[in-house]
């Protein structure tokens, strides 16, 4: 698949010292890629630079193999869906949607037809005459999305578009966006700090930290094979245990786990997802521990086990398995799958 | 029910001092002036004082002159103020900082002093004329002419109008302008389709203020204007103070009030329309 957007060596530094550096990213045509990271990590800087609202200090941005770095926002083949919708309050929904097409000098009949089509696509048929003030937050965001979709941009930029919506609506909008993306085949760059949103929406996720890209991978790979300690900490729940490198294995107390990454040591950090932590009371292998807390969370339970000098480890257990455990009970802890990192 | 009635009575009691003050210092004088303006020369009541405004050649000239100066001044004030407000709101740099720090200065200079200052600066033998003379440039007649009044009106009205418009523009979120640029709108489209519509209410308020301030002005037209034709304020003072024609002066005052009311009507109508659209 061809590359629709390419960012090469982009850097931007603010007076505060924050910014981004060494940003290299290729986005394939029709791909939905998410920039994920905490506040201040630089994801919005990257997005606004693609849209032309910020001028990078270095590097280049290419859309469909053409550099757009010197172009102002109005000349770029991009369109942005903003966090706060940014509808024009003095215009009706129709006028909000028609503005961009009028600038492109489209015939009136075509504009009318396109607006009716796009409103059907975003599930707001017949809303043309309403003013933004008459719409709910979710409806306003749909109009904002429709406004961008109408322009058929080469790259659609979405700046935390659902963050102002409540959890239920956010979930619905995610599904709708994914559906719209598969219908339109648009290339989308989505910015969020919500990892659940990123994991559920994206073809690939770009995890950012302190202005740099930590990892670019598909959601399942980001979750299962984090490349850095930061990604492992940031995505999902993870247990971290200190270990000692001994050639092919890393030893955590009595337990030895494979040194798959061939870490040099001497110390390493072993990371285990709670769902990969096994608890057993009938065996002698594994790390000894005592059940400290059992929290039933609907169809599963989170069990905390005190491992003494290795700290507390959390394990996800089925409701039935958790019911068989009791507070203070001695168990043996083993791991179904681990990943390891050099100790920083 | 009784509680609601009590609250309503309490509300009326609380608002009555302000209402009474308004009645005494605004409404009653207007009514009284209108009644006086209806007094005819033979002691009866008719519209002869109003008829005189349109049949007397000099009076007609005064009305046309007043309207001309008012329209030109209002347009120029709004043009300059809007340009300054836009510049200060959407640009940055040393020049913007300098304008921000200095544009309010005229508000702190008393009108009479500013007017004499303009006479000293722009008069036939003023500083500007003397500075341009060695260069062979003769300054056109500015003082004791309508141009002088317009210049004074700019001095008096630009700071406040700019302040009003700047605060209106500051209320437009940058993100709304960004979204217009994002869909491909150039500077002119952004201004005409987004910035102006979002600030036009304040623009209308500013227009109303400038129009009323200029049409009813006295100091600058009195000190800077020509002997004839005159602005209505100056003419009114002459008719009242020199010719001692109180009834005619009252008719001129009511007429000036009606001129202002026309603009007031358009302003209120526009506000009512907006209100209806929001409902």
Instruction: Domain B57-111+141-278: give its CATH superfamily.
Output: MetI-like (1.10.3720.10)
The percentage of residues in chain B with a pLDDT greater than 90, rounded to a whole number, is 82
At residue B278, does pLDDT exceed 80?
A: no
Q: Which of A177, A210, A231 is the last residue of a domain?
A: A231
Say yes or no for a CB contact (<8 Å) between B178 and A88: no
Mean pLDDT score, A155-180: 88
Residues on chain B touching A91 (C-beta within 8 angstroms):
197
Mean pLDDT score, A296-304: 89
Residues A204 and A66 in one domain: yes
Residues A54 and A154 in one domain: yes
pLDDT tens figures, A195-232: 999 999 999 999 999 999 999 999 999 999 999 999 99
Residue B195, min C-alpha distance to chain A (Å):
10
- Cα B239 from Cα B255, distance rounded (Å): 14
Residues A249 and A223 in one domain: no
Say yes or no for a CB contact (<8 Å) between A103 and B176: no
Burial class (CB in 10 A: 0-12, 13-18, 19+), A330: exposed
Residues A151 and A227 in one domain: yes
Residues on chain A touching B194 (C-beta within 8 angstroms):
88
Q: Which of A216, A231, A246 is the last residue of a domain?
A: A231
Confidence of residue A326 (pLDDT cuts 50, 70, 90): confident
Say yes or no for a CB contact (<8 Å) between A88 and B179: yes
Residues A102 and A152 in one domain: yes
Report pLDDT for B274.
Answer: 73
Domain count, chain A: 2
Residues A119 and A191 in one domain: yes
Residues A269, A338 contacting (CB under 8 angstroms)? no
At residue B1, does pLDDT exceed 80?
A: no
Provide the CATH number for the domain around residue A78: 3.40.50.300
Domain membership of residue A62 as a residue range: 3-231
Chosen from A75, A86, A106, A111 to mutate, greatest number of chain B CBs within 10 A: A86
Residues on chain A touching B196 (C-beta within 8 angstroms):
none
Residues on chain A touching B174 (C-beta within 8 angstroms):
none
Report pLDDT for A254.
Answer: 82
Residues A255 and A219 in one domain: no
Residues A51, A77 contacting (CB under 8 angstroms)? no
Dihedral of CA atoms B221, B223, B224, B228 in degrees, nearest 10, equals 70
pLDDT tens figures, B47-83: 999 999 999 999 999 999 999 999 999 999 999 999 9
Say yes or no for a CB contact (<8 Å) between A151 and B183: yes
Report pLDDT for B146.
Answer: 93
Mean pLDDT over each residue of chain B, to the nearest integer: 92
Nearest CA-CA partner of A146 in A188, A98, A78: A98
Q: Which residues are CB-contacts of A248 (< 8 A; sequence separation ≥ 6)? A: A258, A259
Per-residue tokens: A146: 């429709």
Report pLDDT for B277.
Answer: 67
Report pLDDT for B113.
Answer: 94
Q: Which of A197, A231, A265 is the last residue of a domain?
A: A231
Residues A91 and A172 in one domain: yes
Residue B179, min C-alpha distance to chain A (Å):
6
Using DSSP, state whether B224 is helix, strand or coil: helix
The percentage of residues in chain A with a pLDDT greater than 90, rounded to a whole number, is 64
For every residue of chain A, which 3-state class applies, written as one string? CCEEEEEEEEEEECCCCCEEEEEEEEEECCCEEEEECCCCCCHHHHHHHHHCCCCCCEEEEEECCEECCCCCHHHCCEEEECCCCCCCCCCCHHHHHHHHHHHCCCCHHHHHHHHHHHHHHCCCCCCCCCCHHHCCHHHHHHHHHHHHHHCCCCEEEEECCCCCCCHHHHHHHHHHHHHHHHHHCCCEEEEECCHHHHHHHCCEEEEEECCEEEEEECHHHHHHCCCCHHHHHHCCCCEEEEEEEECCEEEECCEEEECCCCCCCCEEEEEECHHHEEEECCCCCCEEEEEEEEEEECCEEEEEEECHHHCEEEEEEEHHHHHCCCCCCEEEEEECCCEEEECC
Could you report the predicted ipTM of this complex, rounded to two decimals? Answer: 0.80
- Cα A228 from Cα A194, distance rounded (Å): 19
Task: Report the sign of the C-alpha dihedral through residues B171, B181, A190, A142, in that order.
Answer: positive
pLDDT tens figures, B207-258: 999 999 999 999 999 999 999 999 999 999 999 999 999 999 999 999 999 9
Q: How far is CA A305 from CA A86, A236, A294, B119, B199, in A?
A: 49, 19, 9, 91, 63
At residue A1, does pLDDT exceed 70?
A: no
Residue A17, min C-alpha distance to chain B (Å):
21
Mean pLDDT score, B160-178: 94
Residues A150 and A250 in one domain: no
Report pLDDT for A342.
Answer: 87
């Amino acid at each position: 698949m061809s590359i629709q957007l390419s960012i090469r060596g982009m850097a931007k530094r603010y007076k505060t010292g924050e910014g981004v550096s060494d940003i290299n990213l290729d986005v394939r045509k029709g791909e939905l890629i998410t920039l994920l990271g905490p506040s201040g990590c630089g994801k919005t800087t990257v997005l606004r630079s693609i849209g032309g609202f910020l001028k990078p200090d270095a590097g280049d941005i290419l859309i469909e193999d053409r550099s757009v770095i010197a172009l102002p926002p109005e000349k770029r083949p991009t369109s942005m869906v903003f966090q706060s919708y940014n509808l024009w309050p003095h215009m009706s929904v129709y006028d909000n949607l028609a503005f961009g097409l009028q600038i492109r000098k489209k015939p009136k009949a075509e504009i009318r037809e396109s607006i009716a089509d796009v409103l059907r696509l975003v599930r707001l048929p017949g809303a043309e005459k309403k003013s933004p003030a008459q719409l709910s937050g979710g409806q306003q965001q749909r109009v904002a999305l429709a406004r961008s979709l109408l322009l058929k941009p080469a790259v659609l930029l979405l700046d935390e578009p659902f963050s102002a919506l409540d959890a239920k609506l956010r979930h619905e909008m995610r599904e709708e966006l994914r559906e719209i993306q598969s219908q339109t085949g648009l290339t989308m760059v989505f910015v969020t700090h919500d990892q659940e949103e990123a994991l559920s929406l994206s073809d690939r996720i770009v995890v950012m930290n302190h202005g740099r890209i930590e990892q670019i991978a598909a959601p399942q790979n980001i979750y299962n094979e984090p490349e850095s300690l930061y990604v492992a900490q940031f995505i999902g729940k993870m247990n971290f245990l200190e270990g000692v490198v001994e050639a092919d294995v890393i030893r955590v107390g009595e337990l030895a786990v494979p040194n798959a990454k061939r870490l040099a040591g001497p110390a390493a950090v072993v990371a285990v997802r709670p769902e990969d932590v096994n608890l057993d009371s009938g065996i002698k292998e594994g790390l000894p521990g005592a059940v400290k807390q059992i929290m039933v969370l609907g169809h599963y339970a989170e069990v905390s086990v005190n491992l003494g000098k290795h700290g507390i480890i959390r394990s996800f257990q089925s409701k039935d398995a958790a019911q068989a455990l009791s507070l203070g009970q001695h168990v043996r802890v083993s791991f179904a799958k681990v990943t390891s990192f050099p100790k920083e | 029910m009784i509680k609601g009635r009590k609250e309503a009575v309490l509300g009326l009691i609380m608002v009555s001092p302000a209402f009474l003050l308004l009645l005494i210092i605004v409404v009653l004088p207007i009514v009284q002036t209108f009644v006086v303006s209806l007094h005819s020369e033979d002691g009866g009541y008719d519209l002869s004082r109003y008829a005189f405004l349109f049949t007397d050649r000099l009076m007609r000239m005064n009305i046309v002159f007043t309207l001309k100066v008012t329209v030109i001044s209002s347009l120029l004030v709004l043009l300059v103020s809007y340009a300054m407000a836009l510049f200060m709101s959407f640009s940055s740099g040393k020049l913007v900082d300098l304008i921000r720090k200095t544009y309010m200065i005229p508000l702190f200079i008393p009108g009479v002093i500013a007017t004499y200052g303009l006479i000293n600066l722009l008069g036939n033998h003023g500083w500007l004329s003397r500075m341009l003379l060695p260069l062979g440039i003769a300054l056109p007649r500015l003082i004791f002419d309508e141009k002088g009044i317009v210049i004074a009106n700019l001095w008096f009205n630009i700071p406040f109008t700019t302040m009003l418009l700047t605060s209106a523009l500051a209320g437009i979120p940058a993100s709304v302008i960004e979204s217009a640029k994002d869909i491909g709108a150039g500077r002119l489209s952004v201004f005409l389709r987004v910035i102006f519509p979002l600030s036009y209410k304040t623009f209308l308020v500013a227009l109303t203020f400038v129009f009323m301030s200029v049409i009813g002005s006295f100091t600058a037209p009195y000190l800077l204007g020509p002997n004839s034709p005159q602005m209505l304020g100056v003419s009114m003072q002459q008719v009242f103070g020199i010719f001692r024609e109180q009834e005619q002066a009252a008719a001129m005052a009511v007429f000036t009030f009606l001129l202002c009311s026309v603009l007031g009507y358009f302003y209120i109508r526009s506000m009512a329309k907006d209100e209806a659209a929001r409902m």
